[in-house]
Amino acid sequence: MTADTRVPMVRAEDIRKSFGHLEVLKGINLEVQRGEVMTLLGPSGSGKTTFIRLINHLETITAGRLTVDGQLVGYREHQDRLHELRESEVAGMRAEIGMVFQRFNLFPHMTALQNIMAAPIGVRREPKGVVRERALSLLERVGMSDKSGAYPGALSGGQQQRVAIARALAMQPKLMLFDEPTSALDPELVGEVLDVMKDLARSGMTMIVVTHEMGFAKEVADSVVFMDDGVVVEAGSPDAVLVDPQHQRTRDFISKVL
Amino acid sequence: MPATARDEHAVAPTPGAHAQPVVKLRHPIRWASYVIIAVLAAMFVNTILTNPNYGWDVVGEYFTSVRILDGLLKTLQLTAIAMVLGIVLGVGLAVMRLSSNPAVSGVSWLYIWFFRGTPIFVQLLFWGYISALYPVISLGIPFGPSFVEFDTNVLITPVMAAILGLGLNEGAYMAEIVRAGILSVDKGQTEAAQALGMKRGRILRQIVLPQAMRVIIPPTGNNTISMLKTTSLVSVLAFPELLYAAQLIYSDNFETIPLLITASIWYIIVTSVLTVGQYYIERHYSRSERLAGPGVLSRIAELQRRRGVTVDTEGEAR
Ligand SMILES: Nc1ncnc2c1ncn2[C@@H]1O[C@H](COP(=O)(O)OP(=O)(O)O)[C@@H](O)[C@H]1O
Ligand SMILES: [Mg+2]
């Protein structure tokens, strides 16, 4: 692991991604520093999900250069060539990046506690007792201590998403990716999930958050990136982008979301 | 007479709008059909009891005879072994079929195409006559020298032919069932597991297959019931399962009909027992589908834990 704090956590250089003939990302350039919380905004179909899925190699990039913590995503560079990583190497890389999905994707046949413990035990081969302690304290951190034995089917959307966040944190990731974590929730359940995320942001976690929750962006984000049609239209501090946007497209979008 | 809630006289008042007396609709056709069915049933029972060709005394004599019970045991064993082989093969073929490697998925496709496209009876005959096709089976370097050779007739006994014939055929059907099960699991499950750093094998075993079970298990129960009956075809291989045991007996004493009846009664007893089991399995899975609760395995673990047996529940997460 590179401990060099000057290396950005995520660095994207001219990232392109096509599905067949459809070019979805048309040259994305951005950097996320250690401890930075970046929110990614943009209309539906602008490529936000695709971009964060590239970061943990759930999709492969078509062109460009993407590094996480100084390491190329999905490839090894050797004598001027890119060699595809083996499955175990990709898995090892993903294990250090947490991901939270719009639809939670908890494992329905496991209890909340089992969901959280599965990867540290199965992937990292950590001792069960240690993992259990950590899982219980994570459940407490997301306010779900009393539901450790509950199956996801018995939990509300907000509760499921909090367990999903705990599950990702159990792998002690260096980077957390959130893809619209609150947009599948009933309005009254959004707050409890955002609170957990704000708490995480203040603890110094590096986060990329796709969200339309302007409150979250203003309160805890260090930077805001507005994407449209596969390009970054505008990026900067929350005040700069949300309060005083320079581009018409950004203004239109923000006026619609607010 | 105490008027309980179930007492007919205590049932809610006549449903008519102003509590007036109601004349119930008559069902003359329904009554006529009852009569006809009753007459036919009486005729049927009469012939069963009076026609001496049924030979009920012979049925009674052989029903629990050693040879018949031995045949029944072999039928049950053959069913179990063929199903286990079929399930193992089916899981392998389903995973191959879903592979992104076209050669691997092509092999699986070809296998399923062949074994589902030819009658099981013909396949069993092929296994029976396999030594005519390959008199000798040898292990060695492909197209090169061989190290060991076996006489096919020694290797492929009637038992082996029966197991291979039934099991390989079942594998093709189970493959489709398992594949449907795997495809029924939301892709988000695999992605969440991948994002946690899990590899393919673990994702399949720990995440996908347990969830696919609710789709896989009910038709597997059906296939087991039908396998039980299909084993009777194995009589052509001279393997002494239930039907062949009956055939051997009637070739001696010529009591053909009574012995076929004996075998049939045993088949229907076992399929009835399996059908009841199947009913509970389907009920279990249709209920847990609504609740999105735990699968069978974790339920069993839960029950055992309540009984005080220590079970590694997090073992599923090993
Ligand atoms: N697997 C895929 N195959 C083909 N097209 C896709 C795929 N995933 C996403 N797309 C397309 O890429 C575009 C961007 O999608 P997405 O990244 O999900 O946008 P966003 O998350 O900003 O709404 C959309 O037009 C979508 O239809
Ligand atoms: Mg999206």
Nearest by CB to A107, from B189, B202, B318: name it. Answer: B189
Residue B294's identity, in one-letter code, is: P
ipTM exceeding 0.90, yes/no: yes
Q: How many CA atoms lie less than 13 Å away from B165 in the CB half-sphere? A: 30
Residue B173's identity, in one-letter code, is: Y
Mean pLDDT of A186-205: 95
pTM here is 0.83
A102 Cα–ligand 2 center, Å: 8
d(CA A164, CA A156): 12
Ligand nearest to the Cα of A46, by number: 1
Give A80-132 pLDDT, tens digit per residue: 899 999 999 999 999 999 999 999 999 999 999 999 999 999 999 999 999 99
Specify the pLDDT at position B144: 82
Dihedral Cα B215, B220, B225, B226, nearest 10 deg: 100
Mean pLDDT of B6-18: 52
Give B223-280 pLDDT, tens digit per residue: 999 999 999 999 999 899 999 999 999 999 999 999 999 999 999 999 999 999 988 8
The DSSP secondary-structure symbol of A232 reads: E
**Of B193 and B290, the one with more pLDDT:** B193
Specify the pLDDT at position A4: 64
Ion ligand 2, residue ranges at CB < 5 A: A 49
CA closest to A114 among chain B residues = B314
How far is C-alpha B200 from the chain's CA centre? 30
Atom of ligand 1 nearest to the CA of A42: 22
Give B200-214 pLDDT, tens digit per residue: 999 999 999 999 998
A248 Cα–ligand 1 center, Å: 24
For ligand 1, mutation pick of A15, A22, A23, A24 (most atoms within 8 Å of CB): A24
Specify the pLDDT at position A3: 55
Residue with tokens 């599950």: A167
Q: How many CA atoms lie less than 13 Å away from A256 in the CB half-sphere? A: 11
Distance from CA of B180 to the nearest CA of A (A): 19
Pairing of strands A175-179, A207-210: parallel
Mean pLDDT of chain A: 94
Atom of ligand 1 nearest to the CA of A230: 14
> A47: Cβ below 6 Å to ligand 1?
yes
Give the count of beta carbons closer than 10 Å to the beta carbon of residue B212.
23
Residue B110 has pLDDT above 60, yes or no: yes
Say if CB B114 and CB B107 are below 8 A apart. no
> A49: Cβ below 6 Å to ligand 1?
yes
Give B296-315 pLDDT, tens digit per residue: 555 555 555 555 444 344 33
Q: How many CA atoms lie less than 13 Å away from A171 in the CB half-sphere? A: 31
Angle, CA A133 vertex, CA A132 and CA A136 arms, to 5°: 85
Specify the pLDDT at position B1: 41
Q: Tell me which H or E stretch contains A19.
A: strand A10-19
The tokens for A16 are: 């392109």
Residue B13's identity, in one-letter code, is: P
Nearest by CB to A119, from B188, B189, B196: name it. Answer: B196
> A19: Cβ below 6 Å to ligand 1?
yes
Task: Name the nearest CA neighbour of B211 among A58, A164, A153.
Answer: A153
Give A14-56 pLDDT, tens digit per residue: 999 999 999 999 999 999 999 999 999 999 999 999 999 999 9
Residue B128 has pLDDT above 80, yes or no: yes
For ligand 1, mutation pick of A28, A49, A51 (most atoms within 8 Å of CB): A49
DSSP string, chain B: ----TTSGGGS----STTS----PPP-HHHHHHHHHHHHHHHHHHHHHHH-GGG-HHHHHHHHT-HHHHHHHHHHHHHHHHHHHHHHHHHHHHHHHHT-S-HHHHHHHHHHHHHHHHS-HHHHHHHHHTHHHH-SEEEEESTTS-EEEEEEHHHHS-HHHHHHHHHHHHHHHHHHHHHHHHHHHS-HHHHHHHHHTT--HHHIIIIIIHHHHHHHHHHHHHHHHHHHHHHGGGGGGGT--SHHHHHHHHHHHH--HHHHHHHHHHHHHHHHHHHHHHHHHHHHHHHHHHHHT---HHHHHHHHHHHTT----GGGGG-
